[in-house]
Amino acid sequence: MNWLNLTLNSPEANLALDEALLQWHEAVRADSGILRFWESSVPFAVVGYGQAVASEVNQAACQKREVPILRRCTGGGTVVQGPGSLNFTLVLPTASLALANSVTATNRFIMECHRRLFAELLQSPVTIRGHTDLAVQEQKFSGNAQRRRRHSLLFHGTFLLDFDLTALDELLPFPSIAPEYRAGRDHSDFLTNLKLPRETVQQALLKCWDAHKPLETRLEDEVERLVKAKYAQAEWNFRR
């Protein structure tokens, strides 16, 4: 598998690169996967593909704090990202994944790989909760989402390492859809940081996915196109 440790200069560009990697992988019918790491230097809120901004984000609070509101190309719930929230991106050929003939099977396959990895790193039980959450002692530290094409899939998510959780209850209302294990808890009570070094997590994931070859493909033009046409446009970000 190829790997890429690359954070671009804006939240919009970072979201665009994930989609550009999926498009490229699908177009060339690549038979190996890609693992990318990135971490935004500024906070931003990002809603899932089918979510309504009005019900999932406190727009006034985001505007007051100058926190951009964006939309990603995958499903899942709304999150706030920024320093201390390590993002990973997997782009995989569907034919190579065990039991990857459905969204549910793919979730189960990848989430179980990551559950085992973090249980070993933490030396503590880690559970898969909801559809695509990882939790320790019933507190969520990772959320994930995917998008599928015919030959390739994008599976990406976050790991909370040392993220500032204090502003979340102001920026995000209680979500319109929440897993049962959340039990009505506010964001700051529901989420937790792992306090693991970034390098430790990255090296463990590289080993987990056997990612040892740096990705040499350059997608700057496609990222710029996607930013201009989609991720920097209110028509996309506030379309619901």
The DSSP call for residue 76 is S
Euclidean distance between CA atoms 173 and 232, whole angstroms: 24
H-run or E-run covering 148: strand 139-148
For residue 86, the number of C-alpha atoms closer than 13 Å in the C-beta half-sphere is: 22
Give the residue among 5, 84, 222, 24 at the shortest CA–CA distance from 231. Answer: 222
pLDDT at residue number 54: 96
Residue range 205-215: mean pLDDT, rounded: 96
Average pLDDT, the chain: 95
pLDDT at residue number 25: 96
Instruction: For residue 222, name the pLDDT band (cuts at 50, 70, 90).
Output: very high
Q: Where are the domains of the chain?
A: 2-237
Euclidean distance between CA atoms 80 and 172, whole angstroms: 8
Q: In terms of CATH architecture, what is 2-237?
A: 2-Layer Sandwich (3.30)
pLDDT in tens, 144-154: 999 999 899 99
Instruction: For residue 240, name the pLDDT band (cuts at 50, 70, 90).
Output: confident
pLDDT in tens, 92-139: 998 876 545 788 889 999 999 999 999 999 999 999 999 899 999 999
pTM of the predicted model, to two decimals? 0.95
Euclidean distance between CA atoms 93 and 188, whole angstroms: 36
pLDDT at residue number 98: 56
Strand pairing category for 85-93 and 34-38: antiparallel
